[in-house]
A and B are shown apart, each in its own frame.
Chain A
Amino acid sequence: MAGFLSAHGYDPGPTQRPLSAGAISGIAAAIPAVAVLWLFGSLEVESRIVSLPLWATLGLGFAAMAIAGAAYGRLFGRAANHKRGGWLFGMAFGFALWAAGAVLVLPIASGGQTPAGPAAVGVALSLLVWGCATGLLIPFIHPYLHVGLESVPTKAELGPNAAASTQKRQVPQHKPK
C-alpha cells in the first residue's frame, strides 16, 4: 500500500509535519477509545493480562497510541490529510493494529492469554474507534502545524539548481595514461 500511495505523491512535503499531527491526533483519539474499553470492561481485563496496575496500563496505552498515530501520519502521508476519507484510512489502520497487536502480539506476550466475551468486543471496537478518530482528527489538526506558505524558508533544492538535481553526473576526468 505504501508503494501505491507513493506513486501518487505520497511524500508529505516540506510544509507538513505528519509525525506531530499523527501523534497529537493519536493521543486525542485515545480518549474515546479508552471510554469504549471502560464500557466493555476491557481495560481491567487488559490490565490483568499484562500484569500492570490500571494507571500504568492506561499510560502505556496513551504512549502506544501516540506512537501509532505518528506511524499512521507518516505511512499515509498526504492521504491522511483527506477530510472525506481520513476516517476510513484510520479505521483500516486501527483494524490492522487490532489484528497485529491485540490478536497476535498480546497472546504471545502474555503466554497465550487473550480477552474473550465482551472484553474482546471492547478491544476490537476501541481500536476501530481510535483509528476512526485519529483519521478524522489529522486533517483538522495538521493545518495548525503547517509552515505557512508566506514564511516557508527558501530551500536550495527547490531553487534554480534543481534543474540539474537528478543529473549528478561527474564531469569526466582525463587521467594521463
Chain B
Amino acid sequence: MIRSVDFPKAVKAGAAGALAMEVVAFALGLAGIRAVDLAAELGSVLVPVDHGIGWTGGLVAHLGVGILWALFYAYFAWGRLNWRPALQGLAFSAIPAVLAILFVYPQLKLMQAGGDVVALDWKNLPDLELPTLLSILVMHAVFGLVVGAIYRRPVGYLVGHKPAGFVKTRHFDRAVDRGRGNPNGFLFATGIEGSYPTIDHGRWRRDEMDSTLHYRHWQRDFDLCRKLGITHLRYGPPLHLTFIGPGKYDWSWIDEPMEELRRFGPEPIVDLCHFGVPDWLGGLQNPELGKAMAEFAGAFAERFPWARFYTPVNEMYVCARMSGLDGNWNEQKHDDRSFVVAVCNLANASVRMTDAILKRRPDAIFVNSESSDFTQPCCPDPKIQREAQLENERRFLPLDLIFAHPLSDFMKDYVRDNGMSDKEIDRFASRKVPRRSVLGVDYYEWNERLIDTHGRVVALGELFGWYVIAKQYWDRYQRPMMYTETNRMDAADAPRWLWRQWHNVQLMRKSNVPMIGFTWYSLTDQIDWNIALTKAIGLVFPVGLFDMNRDVRTVGLAYKQLIDMWGDVPEFRNCGDVAELLR
C-alpha cells in the first residue's frame, strides 16, 4: 500500500464532485451556454437520452465515475503538493479533464453512433467545439475543487472519537507455536509503532496503530514477529483509548493482544505513554500528569502481572520538544518554559509510574528509551557554539532527571530560568534509581545535526554513528544499554543500515558496555514518518520489516538472517548482561 486512504471520505467527495458537475452543467444551460451534460451523455450510450431512465442511469454512472476518480486522487495525488486541499484537487482535475477531452468524450460519440464498426480517418473524428471543450474544463475544475475541499485528513480522527476496526481474537493458524526466547537471551526486538499525539491544537488525534491497521491485524502482526525469530516486542496500549478517566479504564483495546503475547510471544516491552495523553488530561503542561499516569501504570501492572519489561514514557525529550518547544504536538507551545514544564511533568510521570509498577512487580525491568541526539557547531562563531552547547546539554535533561544525574550548572540555570524550582531539582537528584533500569538509545540518520553558518539546524546523516553518540549516553549514566529504535527510510538501503547498526552494537559490547538488546523499529511501515505525524496526510513510509500488506521487506529477511546467525551464539543465547540485569 502506498497511501492510507479514507474510503468513505473519498466516496463522499467523488459523489459530491460529480453532483457539483451536474449542477454546473444545469446552471450553464440556464445561462444559455451549451455545456456537456455528462449524465445525459453516459445515459444515452444505451438508452435514448430523452428517456428518464437513460438520464437517471447516466447520473448513477457519472456518480460512479466521480467516486473512482476521487479514490484515485486519494491514492495517488492527495498530499503531494503543499497547497490548500481544494487547490490540490483543482490541479488533479487536469488529469480527468484531459482524458475526457482526448478519449472519453470522442468515444462516447462513437458509442452513441449507429452500426457496429466505423472507419475512422482524420476527417470524421468526433467534433469538439470550443464551448463544449470549455464546459468540460470548467466542470472538471469544479469537480476537482469539491473533491479537494472534502477529501482531507484521511488518517486519525477527531479528538473524543474512537477508531473503528478493532478486531477481536479469531481462530488463527499460527505459523510458529511459540516465539523464540531464552530466559537470559539477548533481546532481538522490534516494535509496533503506537504514537498517539494530538495535532491541530488538540482537535485531531493521530493514532499510528489505527493508521497502520494494527487494530485489525494484531494477531497476524505478532505471528510475523515469531516467524522472524523476534524475541521481544516494544508494544503498548493506546493510552488515550484505554485510560478514559480518573480510575476508569477500557481494557478491551489491550486485553486480547496481551493474552496472545503472554501465550505465544514475543515478550512485550510495555510502552505505557507514547507521545500523547488522554483527552481528559489535556496535555503535557498538566501538573496532574504524574499522579494520573502512576495510577494507570499501577492498574496496568495489576491487570497484567506477568508483564516484566516496561517503558514508562517513550522518548521524553522528543515528546517534550515536539509539544513544548517546536509547537507540533499536544499543547503545541513554542517556548523554553513550556518545554521545561513538559520535561518535568514527563520525568515525574516516569518516576511515579516506575514506583507504581514496582509495588506490583518488584522485579520489573525498565527500558527507558530516549532519542540519541548530537549537535555539531559548524564554526567558531560564539553564537553558534552557544546554540550547539544548549542543544547538547538539553538532550540529556529528561534522562538526567529520572536517572538522578546531577544537572550541569548551565542546565541548572536554564531550568531555573524556566520555572523549575530547586526543590524539584533536588527531588529528582535524590531519587534512588531502580537497579533494573536500562538506558534505551534510539538512533536514526537525522539524529546528528549541524548548526550551519546561517544558524539553521540541518541533518548530518551518519557522521559519527550510533557507537559514538550512544557512548556519550553510556559515559553519563553507566546503565545497561539497549539499542531501542532504528530504521531507514530508503527501503533498498535498509539491509545495509541494519547490519551497520549491528556492527555498532558489537563494538559497544567489545568496549565492555553491557548491551541487552537491539531493535529494528518497526514491524510494519509507518504513516507520515517524514513529517513526524504533524499533518494527517496518510503517506506510507517503507521503514518496516513488513509492508502495510504484511508482505516482508528485504530488511525483514536480513533481520531474520541476523537473528538466525547470532541468536544461538553462546554469548547471545545466554547473555551475561541480560542475566546480570534479571538477577
Contact = CB atoms under 8 A, between A and B. Distances in A.
B68 A113 contact: no
A5 interface: yes
A112 B120 contact: yes
Nearest to B102: A99
Contact of B115 (A8, A9, A116, A150): A116
B71 interface: yes
Interface string B479-516: 00000000000011101101110110000000000000
Contact of B496 (A111, A120, A165): A165
A114 B499 CA distance: 58
A41 B550 CA distance: 42
B560 interface: yes
Interface in A110-166: 111-121, 124, 139, 146, 149-150, 152, 154-155, 157-166
A85 B213 CA distance: 14
Given A81-B549, A88-B72, A163-B500, A14 B175 contact: no
Interface in B51-108: 68, 71-72, 75-76, 99, 103, 107
A11 B103 contact: no
Among B5, B72, B175, B549, the one with the most A-chain Cβ atoms within 10 Å of its Cβ is B549
Contacts of A8: 2, 539-542
A110 B228 CA distance: 55
Given A112-B120, A149-B227, A78 B110 contact: no
A117 B46 CA distance: 9
A118 B557 contact: no
Nearest to B559: A158
Contacts of A165: 495-496
Contact of B110 (A5, A81, A116, A163): A116
Instruction: Provide the main secondary structure of the chain B interface.
Output: helix
B551 A117 contact: no
Contacts of A157: 495
A116 B560 contact: no
B552 A13 contact: yes
A71 interface: no
Contacts of A146: 551
A78 B549 contact: yes
Contacts of A91: 68
B119 interface: yes
A15 B46 CA distance: 46
B558 interface: yes
Interface in A41-97: 41, 45, 48-49, 78-79, 81-85, 88-89, 91-92
Contacts of B116: 41, 45, 115-119
A13 B551 contact: yes
Among B46, B113, B553, the one with the most A-chain Cβ atoms within 10 Å of its Cβ is B553
Given A9-B491, A13-B552, A85-B5, A158 B557 contact: yes
Contacts of B121: 112
Interface string B117-151: 11111000000000000000000000000000000
B213 to A, nearest CB: 10
B463 interface: no
Nearest to A5: B2
A48 B500 contact: no
Interface string B146-185: 0000000000000000000000000000010000000000
Interface in A14-41: 14-16, 41
Contacts of B491: 9, 11
Interface residues of B, number: 58
A78 B99 CA distance: 27
B496 A103 contact: no
Interface string B235-248: 00000000000000
Among B99, B115, B116, B503, the one with the most A-chain Cβ atoms within 10 Å of its Cβ is B116
Given A163-B499, A163-B503, A114 B68 contact: no
Nearest to A78: B547
Contact of B558 (A79, A119, A159): A159
Nearest to A41: B116
B373 interface: no
Given A81-B551, A88-B72, A14 B115 contact: no
Nearest to A42: B116
B131 to A, nearest CB: 24
Contacts of B500: 163
A44 B579 CA distance: 77
Among B76, B107, B525, B541, the one with the most A-chain Cβ atoms within 10 Å of its Cβ is B107
B561 interface: yes
Contacts of B548: 82
B103 A112 contact: no
A103 B549 CA distance: 35
B404 interface: no
Contacts of A113: 117-120
B45 A45 contact: no
Nearest to B227: A149
B457 interface: no
A166 B557 contact: no
Contacts of A103: 103, 107
B532 interface: no
Contact of A117 (B1, B114, B495, B554): B114
29 contacts: A1-B76, A8-B540, A9-B491, A9-B540, A13-B552, A15-B551, A41-B116, A49-B117, A78-B1, A83-B549, A84-B5, A84-B7, A88-B68, A88-B71, A103-B103, A103-B107, A113-B118, A115-B116, A119-B117, A149-B560, A152-B557, A158-B495, A158-B557, A159-B565, A160-B502, A161-B499, A162-B495, A162-B499, A165-B496
Interface of B: 1-2, 5, 7, 45-46, 68, 71-72, 75-76, 99, 103, 107, 110-121, 175, 227-228, 491-493, 495-496, 498-500, 502-503, 525, 539-542, 547-549, 551-554, 557-558, 560-562, 564-565
Given A82-B2, A117-B111, A117-B115, 4 more contacts: A9-B525, A85-B5, A118-B116, A162-B496
9 closest A-B pairs (Cβ-Cβ)? Answer: A9-B542, A163-B499, A9-B491, A158-B558, A116-B118, A162-B495, A119-B116, A82-B1, A81-B549
